[in-house]
C-alpha cells in the first residue's frame, strides 16, 4: 500500500501513557509518521456535552480498552489512509474542537489485531530485542559463531528480512524488528 507516494505499512504500538499508537512505517521499517495522539486515560475523559450518560460511559470504556484513537484533524491524509485500510471506522465517534482532535473507533479487524500485536507483545518484544543484541554481541567473535547463528536463526524464523540484521546497526535493527513484528495485516 502507498502512503504519500511511498510503500508503507501500518504498525500498532503504545504511547508512553499506554494509549494505542498507530505508526506508518516505510518498506525499510523506518517510521514515517505517528498518526495518533497519546489520548488521556479513561479517568481523564471529559463527558461530552449533549450526550447521554450511557453514550459517555461507552466512550470512557472504549478509551480504557484502547478501542478508540485520537487523530489530529489537521492530518486528513492519515485519517483517510487508516479508513481506506480498514483500521478506523469511517465515521468519527466524537470531536474535541478545543484540541483539534477527532476520535475514531477501531474496526473489528483492527481490534482483533490490536489484541495480538499490542496487548500480548511485551514479552515477545523483550525476547526478540535480546536476540538482536546477542547477534551483535557475537557478530565479530569467531569463537562465538554458534551463538551468533542461534540468535540469527531465531530472528530469521520471524520472517524478518535478514539483510536488515546483517547490514544495520544494533539499535536500528531492534527498532526495525519491532516494527516488523507489529505490522497490521490488511485484508
Please tell me the predicted confidence (pLDDT) of residue 187: 67
pTM for the predicted model, two decimal places = 0.80
Please tell me the predicted confidence (pLDDT) of residue 74: 95
Please tell me the predicted confidence (pLDDT) of residue 44: 63
For residue range 79-114, list pLDDT tens digits in order.
999 999 999 999 999 988 888 999 999 999 999 888
Mean pLDDT over the full length of the chain? 88
Count the Cβ atoms, other than its own, within 10 Å of residue 130: 13
Spacing of C-alpha 128 from chain mean position: 16
**3-class secondary structure, 118:** helix
Q: Rounded to the nearest 5 degrees, what angle is found at the Cα of 108, between the Cα atoms of 184 and 186?
A: 30
Please tell me the predicted confidence (pLDDT) of residue 120: 63
Report the percent of the chain where pLDDT is more than 70: 94
Q: Which three cell numbers stand for residue 44?
A: 481523564
Report residues of the chain scoring pLDDT below 50.
none
**Residues 162, 43: Cα–Cα separation, whole Å:** 43
**Residues 133, 50: Cα–Cα separation, whole Å:** 53
Please tell me the predicted confidence (pLDDT) of residue 89: 97
Please tell me the predicted confidence (pLDDT) of residue 59: 86
Please tell me the predicted confidence (pLDDT) of residue 84: 96
**3-class secondary structure, 153:** helix
Please tell me the predicted confidence (pLDDT) of residue 144: 81
Please tell me the predicted confidence (pLDDT) of residue 41: 58
Please tell me the predicted confidence (pLDDT) of residue 130: 87
Please tell me the predicted confidence (pLDDT) of residue 115: 83
Q: What is the DSSP letter of 142?
A: G
Q: What are phi and psi of 139, to 5 degrees?
A: -55, -45
Amino acid at each position: 500500500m502507498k502512503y504519500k507516494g511511498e510503500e508503507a505499512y501500518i504498525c500498532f504500538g503504545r504511547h508512553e501513557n499506554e494509549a494505542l499508537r498507530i505508526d506508518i512505517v516505510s518498506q525499510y521499517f523506518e517510521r514515517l509518521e505517528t498518526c495518533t495522539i497519546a489520548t488521556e486515560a479513561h479517568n481523564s475523559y471529559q463527558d461530552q456535552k449533549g450526550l447521554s450518560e450511557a453514550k459517555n460511559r461507552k466512550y470512557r470504556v472504549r478509551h480504557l480498552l484502547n478501542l478508540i484513537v485520537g487523530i489530529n484533524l489537521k492530518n486528513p491524509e492519515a485519517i483517510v489512509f487508516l479508513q481506506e485500510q480498514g483500521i478506523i471506522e469511517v465515521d468519527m465517534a466524537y470531536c474535541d474542537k478545543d484540541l483539534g482532535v477527532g476520535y475514531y473507533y477501531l474496526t473489528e479487524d483492527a481490534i482483533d489485531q490490536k489484541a495480538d500485536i499490542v496487548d500480548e507483545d511485551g514479552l515477545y518484544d523483550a525476547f526478540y530485542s535480546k536476540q538482536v543484541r546477542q547477534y551483535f554481541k557475537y557478530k565479530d567473535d569467531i569463537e562465538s559463531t554458534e551463538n551468533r547463528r542461534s540468535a540469527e536463526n531465531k530472528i530469521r524464523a520471524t520472517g524478518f528480512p535478514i539483510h536488515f540484521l546483517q547490514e544495520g546497526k544494533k539499535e536500528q535493527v531492534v527498532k526495525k524488528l519491532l516494527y516488523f513484528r507489529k505490522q497490521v495485516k490488511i485484508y
